[in-house]
Structure 1
Amino acid sequence: MESFYKFYCFFQKTLQDLYPEPKELETIFFLLTTHIFQCDKTTILLRLSRKEKINFFTYDKLIKKLWELKKNRPIQYVIGHTYFFGMKFIVNEKVFIPRPETEELVNWILQEDHSVYNHNHSIQVFDMGTGSGCISITLKKKKPEIIQHIHAIDSDQKALDIARKNAKLHNVKISLKNVNLLKDSMYISTNKNSVNIIVSNPPYIKLSEKKLLHPNIVQYEPNQALFVPDEDPLIFYKKISFWIKKRLTGIVYVYFEINQFIYLDIIDFLKKMGFRKIEIRRDFQGFFRMVRAVYYENYK
């Protein structure tokens, strides 16, 4: 039998070229081992320090997972889940892996008071490009008394199947809709004086920026959730904004995750479309990655 310490050394040696940042490699190691052994990080550290033995069956599982990582497969897909707002979410190659930046976007929504225009009507949320459902499910879990209706929308039925599993995992009810935002029209009746929240982390990476990404993103995460043509990088923001103007009345709060390289273009577009109270925020890395705007031209 091999020891924890020996596997740790072999793990480091195998992946150090792919993940040169030591902290990132350490994180991946603990994500894998806590998953396989179904324990916490402290237990793994104790077993490492004691150089405990690993039985052959478990060691074989670890090595198989290690080879997946060696092929650039993201650790979240290797173990089949990730965490968002401290909650566990099922993920696979059909859905984009939730990022900390999106947690910041959701936190922004949760911090704001949308009831000022509510007039006792419930708030309706549209999660455009829901993927794993992490945004919709988190909002429903955190604000069940305010947010009653959530429409989680995605063009990929297999992604919606994952979102459905996650909704069941967290015991929340959301309405899942298979809609291609670029091709399909979507009609949902709303109250004239209702309050609507639109939230989206749409594809926004230009194809020319593909070379800047880590290979595990390009090789495994769904391209349709990542890339937009260089000639029209705002295509999803445009489609969503036009839909808002055509279909929604009442107060509409819009929250977008954005490409930091074209944030000025997005602000300019939203202004031209008649959105007001536009605010842009930096993420934890200091990049302009999220914007909030309000549309209430038809509000009476």
Structure 2
Amino acid sequence: MESFDKFYRIFQKTLQNLYPEPKELENIFFLLTTHIFQCDKITILLRLSRKEQIDFVTYDKLIKKLWELKKNRPIQYVIGHTYFFGMKFIVNEKVFIPRQETEELVYWILQDYKKNFHHHHDAYIQVFDIGTGSGCISISLKKKKPEIVNIHAIDFDQEVLDIAKKNAKLHNVKISLKNMDILKEEIDPLIKRNKNYVHIIVSNPPYVKLSEKKILHPNILQYEPYKALFVPDETPLIFYQSISFWIKKRLTGIVYIYFEINQFIYLDIINFLKKMGFLNIEIRKDLQGFFRMVRAVYYAK
């Protein structure tokens, strides 16, 4: 038998060089232990203070997970889930781990929904979540606004959509999951053509330039899906361009776009949207003070 406080000391010593920020390391510790013991943080704190014993089987599990963490594997992949908008989402190396910045993007949509969309009939509102990954954006919108009938979660990878499907089932929501590629303009079959429609296009596409690899944490580079992260240096706006051209060619009615963006090229994105005829362009900073989100409107004929 080993004690809680002994495991805590081993945990700290093993990972302190990888995660020098104490708060981050503490957070990882509690994510791991609450998962293994299926309890809350307060229970773990009590067991630590009492120096309670851990049985050999459980201790072995903890040590194995610790070695995974030592190899830079993100805690979310180690325990198989993460939290987004207060909800649990299944994740693995096939999907990008949902971040707080994307929560802020969803919150922006919900704020606007209250102000701008309430006077539209819900049947005439279509949401396209392009590059859905775990499905966190679509599922959160459906949970918060169940009255939205048409929510389309789109991804080019069927294995990714299988995870989104599991998450939709986990949260008991119905969304439309489609295996399509925006770079090949394959979204057309989903479109309902009507000048009365309001379309909400939301996307957190790949936007990290290959030359920016060096600024990323090793666990992102080693484990998170390459195709969900990177774009060529020569064409960093490729996904925003494809989505915008598709909107101009195929949609009718009012189109609201919400993009998560690369903070280093936000001016390029704004200039591109202006040239494409988007109006009311607004950019927002995330909680860290980086320009991370943009919203614009397009009136499609």
TM-score normalised according to structure 2 size: 0.97
Match of 1:296, SS state, is strand
2:29 corresponding residue in structure 1? 29
Structure 1 unaligned residues grouped into runs of 5+: none
1:223-277 per-position Cα deviation (integer Å, ceiling 9, x unaligned): 1000000001000000000011111100100000000000000000000000001
Cα deviation, residue 114, structure 1: 3.2
- The 2-side partners of 1:6 and 1:120 are apart by 56
Q: 1:87 to 1:116 in 2, by over 3 A?
A: closer
Match of 2:9, SS state, is helix
- The 2-side partners of 1:18 and 1:174 are apart by 39
1:63 corresponding residue in structure 2? 63
2:199 corresponding residue in structure 1? 196
**One-letter amino acid matched to 1:243:** W
2:104 corresponding residue in structure 1? 104
Cα deviation, residue 180, structure 1: 1.8
Match of 1:260 among 263, 284, 290: 263
Contact 2:106 2:137 in 1 (8 A): yes
Match of 1:134 among 111, 136, 148: 136
- The 2-side partners of 1:119 and 1:130 are apart by 25
1:118 corresponding residue in structure 2? 120
Contact 1:114 1:195 in 2 (8 A): no
1:231 corresponding residue in structure 2? 234
2:293 corresponding residue in structure 1? 290
TM-score normalised according to structure 1 size: 0.97
Q: 1:2 to 1:280 in 2, by over 3 A?
A: same
1:203-222 per-position Cα deviation (integer Å, ceiling 9, x unaligned): 00000000100000000000
- The 2-side partners of 1:151 and 1:283 are apart by 26
1:144 corresponding residue in structure 2? 146
2:154 corresponding residue in structure 1? 153
1:32-80 per-position Cα deviation (integer Å, ceiling 9, x unaligned): 0000000000000000001000000000000000000000000000000
- The 1-side partners of 2:54 and 2:251 are apart by 59
- The 2-side partners of 1:294 and 1:12 are apart by 49
- The 1-side partners of 2:184 and 2:214 are apart by 28
**58-67 vs 173-182, greater mean Cα deviation:** 173-182
> Do structure 1's residue 3 and structure 2's residue 3 form an aligned pair?
yes
Contact 2:122 2:149 in 1 (8 A): no
1:130-164 per-position Cα deviation (integer Å, ceiling 9, x unaligned): 0000000000000112x211110001111100000
2:42 corresponding residue in structure 1? 42
**59-68 vs 121-130, greater mean Cα deviation:** 121-130
Cα deviation, residue 179, structure 1: 1.0
2:170 corresponding residue in structure 1? 169
1:182-201 per-position Cα deviation (integer Å, ceiling 9, x unaligned): 13422133222101100000
- The 2-side partners of 1:43 and 1:120 are apart by 44
Structure 2 unaligned residues grouped into runs of 5+: none
**One-letter amino acid matched to 1:155:** F
1:216 corresponding residue in structure 2? 219
- The 1-side partners of 2:300 and 2:5 are apart by 63
RMSD between aligned alpha carbons? 1.1
Cα deviation, residue 116, structure 1: 6.1
**One-letter amino acid matched to 2:260:** E
Match of 2:182, SS state, is coil
- The 2-side partners of 1:226 and 1:279 are apart by 24
Match of 2:105, SS state, is helix
**One-letter amino acid matched to 1:94:** K
The 4+ residue runs of structure 1 with deviation greater than 6 A are none
Residues 67-82 of structure 1 mapped to structure 2, 5 A cutoff: 67-82=67-82
1:251 corresponding residue in structure 2? 254
Contact 1:117 1:195 in 2 (8 A): no
